[in-house]
Every structure is written in C-alpha cells, then in structure tokens.
C-alpha cells in the first residue's frame, strides 16, 4: 500500500488541489480540521515542510497525506476515511521517521481513532491543548472601556509602528512555548496578510506614562461555512511576565470579547495549554468551557 507514496517539497498546484480535497473530506467526516495554521501555510508553500502523498488511482483525492515541520519537529498524518485501517497511516509514519526518528504527531480533536493509532504505533501523549468556548448569547460582554482598563494602562488598536514591540513582547511572554514564542516580524506579517486580519481587532495594552507595550490580545473572526454566523477566536493573548498581576490579561480578554461581540460574533473559542492551570482557570472564570482537545504524541 505504501509503494505508491512519494515525498515532495512545496506541493505543486495540482498536489495542493488534491490535498485540499482530502482535507475537506476528512473535515466533513470527522467534524475536525486535520490541519492547523502552520500546516495550512506549508501546504500552500508559505512555510518550509516535507510532504508525503499516497495517491488513489482513478481519483483526484489521495488516500493519505503527511507533513513534517522541521522547525517544530512535528508531524501531521491524514488518511481518507474510506481507506483507513489499511496501513496507510502506519506507512506514512514510517516515512516521517526516516527524516525524524522521534517526531511529535498531532491529533486534532484527539478522536478515538487517533488514540488507537497512537497506541498501536507506540506513541504516547506529551502535550494537550484545550479548545474552550464562550457563548455570547448566554454570557454577553457588558463591560465598558473604563471598566476594563487597569490603572495606568490604556488599551488601543494596533498601529504599524507597534510591530517591533509586539514581536518582542510575544517572544518574552511565550518564551517557553514551542511554536508561538519563535514568531518573527515576518511571521506576524504573514498572518496580517490573511483575509481575516483586522488591525482594529489586535488590541495592545500600553503603560499610560511610559508608552511601553505590556501585552496584547489578537482576536480573529472567521466564517466557517458560507452563510454561517462568524466565529470569534482569542487568537493570541500575552502579557509581559514583569507586568503580571495587574489585571492586564483579564482586561485585554474582556476588551477583545467586547470588540468581537460588536462585530456580530455570538461565540468565541480559544486554544490553551492544558498544563497551564492558571491561564485555564482565568478563562473558566471568564465563562469559557472546554468543548474538545487536541493532543500531540511522541
């Protein structure tokens, strides 16, 4: 089954179309997007990665697809629901292990099938992300701007000349994060070029006296399907370690939710490290509830 699997660099237009068709099929069947943001960038040649494709003769949609990200040492394996339990996933993992002996493999949604595959391949969970949700119909934002801003702090939308400070705050706040902390100005710029980006929804907390950037809340609003209501996301929320304890994180969270609500959003989601109990509790106290989780295995 693996004999037809081949390795490629940046996918061609034809390969991208085939991969996208597989992703759409898997998303519809599993109810979970099998790619994260970095993986989507890589599929479309906007991020370095190694790719493997298992074609399906007579069909434009491949039986399987895998990707390895050399920067994060992480991998993603996707198998067409109609061709699962035929050894395709194991063959793709074997291909990945030829370039990285111990990759971490993401399981978005951490579905039972993924857990079974991991156990069969001798993989163990090493990290978990909680997906949390707040229903704004049940828990609307009722705070005013004055209620949200801590003493000595002003919250304002992003301006282009804030970029350097934004990258520095992100690196310091996420120093121990395996992906977020390494983002460069170019990485930020790439995300700011996406259709969903709105500078008004990137909220920055400055010290009112010095003007120093203390933290930020980057919101994201997307429509999952044509004609559906927009869904908001706490895309990234960060506060400088030496500014912790002043209520800046909670203020930024509240300000971002208020802004998304004013854009017509009725639900807000976020991703948070399950191991970060303090931050998880902050979100729970802000009426977010856990709805699912992602896991990485090694």
- What string of DSSP letters covers 242-280? GGTTSSHHHHHHHHHHHHHHHTT--EEEEEEETT-HHHH
Topology of domain 2-123 in CATH is Aminopeptidase (3.40.630)
pLDDT value, residue 236? 97
Helix (H, G, I), strand (E, B) or coil at 204: strand
Lowest-pLDDT range of 67-81, 216-230, 269-283: 216-230
**Percentage with pLDDT > 70 across the chain:** 97
pTM of the model: 0.91
What residue has token string 């390895």?
Answer: 68
CB contact at 8 A, 96 and 123: no
Residue showing tokens 């927009």: 230
- pLDDT per position as a tens digit, 42-59: 999 999 999 999 999 989
- Which contiguous run of DSSP H or E holds residue 29? helix 13-30
pLDDT bin (cut points 50, 70, 90) of residue 18 is very high
CA–CA dist 214, 154 (Å, integer): 10
3-state secondary structure of 16: helix
**pLDDT > 80? residue 16:** yes
What was the pLDDT predicted at 227? Answer: 67
pLDDT digits 0-9 by tens, 139-159? 999 877 667 889 999 999 999
3-state DSSP assignment of residue 168: helix
**Residue 1 pLDDT more than 70?**
no
Distance, in Å, from the CA atom of 117 to the CA atom of 87, rounded to the nearest integer, reads 10
Question: In the prediction, which pLDDT does 41 show?
Answer: 96
**Domain assignments of the chain as residue spans, ordered by start:** 2-123, 132-292
pLDDT in tens, 168-218: 999 999 998 888 989 999 999 999 999 999 999 999 999 999 999 999 999
Q: What percent of the chain has pLDDT over 90?
A: 90
Residue whose C-alpha is closest to residue 139's, from 298, 292, 297, 289: 289
Is the fold of 2-123 the same as that of 132-292?
yes
Domain 132-292 CATH assignment equals 3.90.25.10? no
């Amino acid at each position: 089954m693996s004999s037809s699997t081949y390795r490629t660099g940046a996918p061609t237009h034809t390969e991208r179309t085939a991969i996208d068709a597989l992703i759409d099929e898997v998303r519809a069947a599993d109810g979970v997007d099998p790619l994260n943001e970095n993986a989507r960038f890589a599929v479309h040649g906007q991020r370095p990665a190694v790719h493997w494709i298992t074609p399906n003769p007579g069909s434009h949609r491949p039986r399987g697809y895998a990707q390895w990200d050399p920067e994060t040492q992480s991998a993603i394996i996707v198998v067409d629901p109609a061709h699962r339990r035929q050894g395709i996933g194991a063959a793709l993992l074997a291909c990945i292990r030829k370039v990285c002996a111990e990759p971490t493999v993401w399981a978005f949604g951490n579905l039972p099938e993924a857990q079974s595959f991991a156990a069969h391949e001798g993989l163990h969970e090493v990290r978990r992300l909680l997906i949390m949700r707040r229903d704004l119909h049940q828990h609307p934002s009722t705070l005013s701007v004055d209620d949200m801003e801590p003493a000595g702090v002003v919250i304002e939308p992003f301006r282009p000349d804030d970029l350097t400070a934004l990258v520095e705050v992100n690196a310091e706040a996420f120093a121990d994060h395996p992906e977020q902390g390494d983002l460069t100005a170019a990485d930020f710029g790439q995300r700011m070029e996406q259709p969903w980006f709105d500078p008004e929804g990137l909220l920055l907390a400055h010290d009112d006296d010095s003007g120093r950037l203390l933290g930020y809340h980057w919101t994201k609003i997307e429509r999952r399907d044509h004609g559906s209501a927009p869904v908001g996301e706490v895309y990234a929320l960060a506060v400088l370690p030496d500014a912790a304890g002043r209520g800046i994180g909670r203020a930024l969270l509240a300000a971002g939710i208020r802004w998304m609500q004013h854009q017509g959003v009725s639900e807000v989601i976020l991703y948070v490290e399950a191991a970060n109990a303090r931050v998880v509790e902050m979100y729970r106290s802000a009426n977010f509830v856990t709805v699912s989780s992602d896991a990485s295995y090694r």
